[in-house]
Amino acid sequence: MHIAAVIKRKGSHVVSIAPDRTVAEAVSLLTENGIGAALVLDATGGILGILSERDIVNGISRHGGDALAQRVDALMIRDVQHCSPRDTIAQVMRVMTERRTRHLVVLEEDGKLMGLISIGDVVKQRLIDANLEVETLRGYVSLRADT
């Protein structure tokens, strides 16, 4: 299965924040949307970075409560990892594991933002695929047993 299936199932809406907003505002945004990361976009929609819960916790560890008053671009990750809608679930799982990242931006061939996926989205799709495989095999075995 390909990442395009994940985007089709979950949708392509991406929660984003401007780099000059505060980390406290980012925390509220993540909480309101029940998500673990937001893309940091410039005024034209260009990707500047990504801010995750992990980045916020690291910021609080280093700066204490003052981290919440900092700008998002002070804590965001600038080297945003991405994948293609044509990448397979297995390829993306490998990238996420090797690069120790929980989120990947999905970019079309022309570089246009298609969505953002999390490790949870990838695992969910893998479970859906595995269940489909099991049901297909059960149907095949059942059909063979009836003949």
Question: Which parts of the chain sit beneath pLDDT 50?
Answer: none
Q: Using CA atoms, how far apart are residues 136 and 141, in angstroms rounded to an integer?
A: 9
Give me the domains of the chain, ranges plus CATH numbers.
3-146 (3.10.580.10)
pTM of this structure:
0.84
Q: Nearest 5°: CA angle at 46, between 111 and 10?
A: 65
pLDDT at 113: 95
pLDDT at 101: 94
pLDDT at 137: 74
Polymer length in residues for the chain = 147
Contacts of 77 (CB under 8 A, 6+ apart): 49, 50, 51, 52, 55
pLDDT at 147: 63
